[in-house]
Chain A
Amino acid sequence: MEEGVVNEILQGPLRDVFDSKQLITDISGSGNNWAVGHKVFGSLYQEQILEKLRKSAEHCDCLQCFFIIHSMGGGTGSGLGTFLLKMLKDEFPDVYRFVTSVYPSGEDDVITSPYNSILAMKELNEHADCVLPIDNQSLFDIISKIDLMVNSGKLGTTIKPKSLVTSSAGAVKKRHQKPFDAMNNIVANLLLNLTSSARFEGSLNMDLNEISMNLVPFPQLHYLVSSLTPLYTLADVNIPTRRLDQMFSDAFSKDHQLIRADPKHSLYLACALMVRGNVQVSDLRRNIERLKPSLQFVSWNQEGWKTSLCSVPPVGHSHSLLALANNTCVKPTFMELRERFMRLYKKKAHLHHYLQIEGMEESCFMEALSSLSGLIEEYNQLDATKSMPVEDFPRLSVAM
């Protein structure tokens, strides 16, 4: 909504990526208020947005899915973003909706972020097909790790002249001044790897809708924890790619997840491995066999793996792996969010900013809270089965 933000992008190196007919702006932003983004801007710009969407959709031979990339903590991304989500569900019910949501970290600067996030979560619960939660802290940790690797000169290589940040001189320095660029690059790579199988050829293709099909066993539980390896591809540095098997091991370590979570010590509902590059099916199988014993899968999905092989690797590297896990390790993030919400809500702090918007009532907050609590409870029930012995259900018996 903020003109300033859009103008900056239009003057930057990516200006040609965006179609100018596709941009909608207003003068000011949403003031970190979900209600402004959702109710005010939503109703104001509904027609315009729909118009532009329809025009683009008409150009498609076969529209598979929509990607929504937004943050949860602010007003526009969170409010208008989720308004858009609902609109897509109503207008294009058969088209899948993938949402990449940036969750607020513990120390974020927006005081009302818990309110915004919880209100947005309700919409994500109800209208999204798949959500890939990301948090800034994890991204920042990853960037710091890469910097450490580069600066310590451990691997003794140089940074490529054209690194992800625009200027060639003082690239590392510039990165610290513009850390969001580096962090955004990680998310961009996530999306590239996600769609690579649909864009390029490979021996085991996977369409985007297959992700939802295979990784979402129950409609509400559609939150997928993602991890990318190798990490340093994201910094665009000229480091030789490590051994293939190491890449698979890294994907399950908590340092490589794009959200603060530890999937290895929680329960897996399903897991997808999307490999790019010169990797064969036997490598894939060997690594799955090797890693399986250390991972806990839910009893009815002990072999819950979905795999895809795309033969085209990412630029400058021989192979890469994106792992998407439907895992109960997202629960702590949601619980923390709920706690932060309760701290504010108990005191009714900042509530008036929301309630003064037409259409907003206290019941909206209660509903959103109950939606989140319901979700957490579902994860709890699954976690409870972790320690139970695996029993087969009695089969149908047939008279001979």
Chain B
Amino acid sequence: MVSIRASVKNKVLETTGHMECDFTQKKLFILSHGCLCFWSSYSVHGPRHEESIMNLIQKEVEKCDSLSGFFIIMSMAGGTGSGLGAFVTQKLQDQYSNSLKMNHIIWPYGTGEVIVQNYNSILTLSHLYRSSDALLVHENDAVHKICAKLMNIKQISFSDINQVLAHQLGSVFQPTYSVEGSCHYRRNPLGDLMENLVPHPEFKMLGIRNIPQMSENSLAYSTFTWAGLLKYLRQMLISNSKMEEGIDWHVRPPLSRLPTLGKASLNRELQFNTSIANLVILRGKDVHSADLGGFKDPALYTSWLKPINAFNVWKTQRAFSKYEKSAALVSNSQFLLKPLDTIVGKAWNMFASKAYIHQYTKFGLEEEDFLDSFTLLEQVVASYCNL
């Protein structure tokens, strides 16, 4: 864990001290002060501390019997997480080129976290697009809504938000059976996930949706069926809803008879979320009885990938958390198109006004570098748009 200050380190050690995880002093790397912006951490602090950080990583890697890959958790809006995260990912690419890397990115709130968050975000995303294999994105706004509407929390704290994040990650990465009917657990969920969901390097953005998600009180009064859960999950996917409340049921898959070109623009009009690939993970009772036909409809997917390749399912009888039945969906789809387009637009307006540029150029970043990042991301936006 790389952190910027001793108080964070102390808090982490204090919180994890009584847990069974392995966070000890030796595994923490502390920078003495905060990093201002993406570039200050990427180009200045990263290289300065490269050896110590990579040594720490190497120690952990050597302890592994079999290294599946790296899972890097970072935020995008600030200075440390964004820049150092991108820097470390780049170094991992250089040093462990055969290992897979997935970056878990926290997409900032639309308003009011960090003023230069749009700059930091576009710089981070463009760098990660070059060095990472997959980007698993969690949007703060979406998670905040889940806390408010589904969990009924009145005064939402970061601790509540982090709990939802942990729950969603857990629902994906907890063990599942490797093959239908087998009793062997999947050995490499990270690798399998990426193999299933990232068929093309141009399309790396993944999102998670979970059902059900509710507070303890509500849970007592609810019963679930696989049919119901999967119906909601499917509609959440195609209408680009981040949670099971407020779903737009009017959005329907388009008729598959249309030619490809017409399909893309029609989908945009209908606000239909086209997928490249989907992975559904089912946990709980009677999991074998779940009918996943709805996810195998070719209309859900882009034309260049058939459902048999685009769709996968993982199962386990073991219930997750307090839910008797639960389903998670990891998807590579257009879900992040609008937020990405928005961030690029805002960053571009700021860049065109030359605002805050001097704060980055003083650390050695040039306007060319900004332009490179913009170009790469406009390409990504266009690619996802034309699915």
Interface residues of A (CB under 8 A from B): 61-62, 64, 200-201, 203-205, 207, 209-210, 212-219, 270, 280-285, 288-289, 292, 299-307, 392-393, 395-398, 400
Shortest C-beta distance, A258 to chain B (Å), equals 22
Shortest C-beta distance, A139 to chain B (Å), equals 28
Contact A205 B374 (CB under 8 A): no
Q: B155 an interface residue at 8 Å Cβ cutoff?
A: yes
Q: B353 an interface residue at 8 Å Cβ cutoff?
A: yes
Report the Cα distance A300→B352, complex, angstroms: 9
Q: Please indicate the chain B residues that have their CB under 8 angstroms from the CB of A392 in the complex.
A: 345, 348-349
Contact A203 B114 (CB under 8 A): no
Shortest C-beta distance, A195 to chain B (Å), equals 13
22 contacts between A and B (CB under 8 A): A61-B32, A200-B7, A201-B8, A204-B158, A209-B33, A209-B34, A210-B114, A213-B116, A270-B115, A280-B156, A281-B157, A282-B157, A284-B112, A285-B109, A285-B111, A285-B112, A300-B350, A300-B355, A305-B113, A305-B115, A396-B375, A396-B378
Shortest C-beta distance, B126 to chain A (Å), equals 13
Contact A281 B358 (CB under 8 A): no
Contact B157 A400 (CB under 8 A): no
Q: Please indicate the chain B residues that have their CB under 8 angstroms from the CB of A218 in the complex.
A: 354-355, 358
Report the Cα distance A281→B32, complex, angstroms: 26
Q: B23 an interface residue at 8 Å Cβ cutoff?
A: no
Q: Please indicate the chain A residues that have their CB under 8 angstroms from the CB of B156 in the complex.
A: 280-282
Q: Which of A210, A270, A292 has the most CB of B within 10 A?
A: A210
Count of chain B residues near A, Cβ 8 A: 48
Contact B359 A213 (CB under 8 A): yes
Contact A305 B112 (CB under 8 A): yes
Q: B382 an interface residue at 8 Å Cβ cutoff?
A: yes
Report the Cα distance A115→B4, complex, angstroms: 44
Contact B157 A398 (CB under 8 A): no
Contact B5 A205 (CB under 8 A): yes
Q: Please indicate the chain B residues that have their CB under 8 angstroms from the CB of A302 in the complex.
A: 346
Closest chain A residue to B347, Cβ basis = A300
Contact for A213 among B37, B352, B378, CB less than 8 A:
B37
Report the Cα distance A5→B313, complex, angstroms: 78
Closest chain A residue to B118, Cβ basis = A303
Q: Which of B110, B148, B348, B374 has the most CB of A within 10 A?
A: B348
Q: B138 an interface residue at 8 Å Cβ cutoff?
A: no
Contact B111 A303 (CB under 8 A): yes
Contact A282 B155 (CB under 8 A): yes
Q: Please indicate the chain B residues that have their CB under 8 angstroms from the CB of A288 in the complex.
A: 111-112
Closest chain A residue to B360, Cβ basis = A213
Q: Please indicate the chain B residues that have their CB under 8 angstroms from the CB of A200 in the complex.
A: 7
Contact B36 A201 (CB under 8 A): no
Closest chain B residue to A64, Cβ basis = B33
Q: Please indicate the chain A residues that have their CB under 8 angstroms from the CB of B59 in the complex.
A: none
Shortest C-beta distance, B359 to chain A (Å), equals 5
Contact for B33 among A62, A219, A270, A289, CB less than 8 A:
A62
Contact for B115 among A215, A393, A398, CB less than 8 A:
A215
Report the Cα distance A302→B382, complex, angstroms: 25
Tell me the B10-24 residues at the A interface (CB within 8 Å).
11
Given contacts A300-B350, A398-B375, is CB(A214)–CB(B34) below 8 Å? Answer: no
Contact for B349 among A203, A210, A299, A307, CB less than 8 A:
A299
Q: B144 an interface residue at 8 Å Cβ cutoff?
A: yes
Closest chain B residue to A396, Cβ basis = B378
Contact A306 B358 (CB under 8 A): no
Report the Cα distance A200→B6, complex, angstroms: 11
Q: B173 an interface residue at 8 Å Cβ cutoff?
A: no
Contact for B157 among A270, A280, A305, CB less than 8 A:
A280
Contact A393 B348 (CB under 8 A): yes
Contact for A395 among B116, B144, B154, B348, CB less than 8 A:
B348
Closest chain B residue to A400, Cβ basis = B382
Q: Which of A64, A204, A395 has the most CB of B within 10 A?
A: A395
Q: Please indicate the chain A residues that have their CB under 8 angstroms from the CB of B154 in the complex.
A: 282
Q: B379 an interface residue at 8 Å Cβ cutoff?
A: yes
Report the Cα distance A129→B74, complex, angstroms: 29
Closest chain B residue to A62, Cβ basis = B32
Given contacts A392-B345, A393-B349, is CB(A398)–CB(B378) below 8 Å? Answer: yes
Q: B96 an interface residue at 8 Å Cβ cutoff?
A: no
Shortest C-beta distance, A287 to chain B (Å), equals 10
Q: Digitize B148-186: 1 where CB-to-A-CB distance is under 8 Å, 0 elsewhere.
A: 100000111111010000000000000000000000000
Q: B224 an interface residue at 8 Å Cβ cutoff?
A: no
Tell me the B329-374 residues at the A interface (CB within 8 Å).
344-346, 348-350, 352-356, 358-359, 374
Besides the known contacts A292-B111, A398-B378, 18 further A-B residue pairs in the complex with CB atoms under 8 A apart: A64-B33, A215-B115, A216-B359, A217-B355, A280-B156, A281-B161, A282-B144, A282-B155, A282-B157, A289-B111, A303-B115, A303-B346, A304-B115, A305-B113, A306-B113, A392-B345, A395-B378, A397-B378
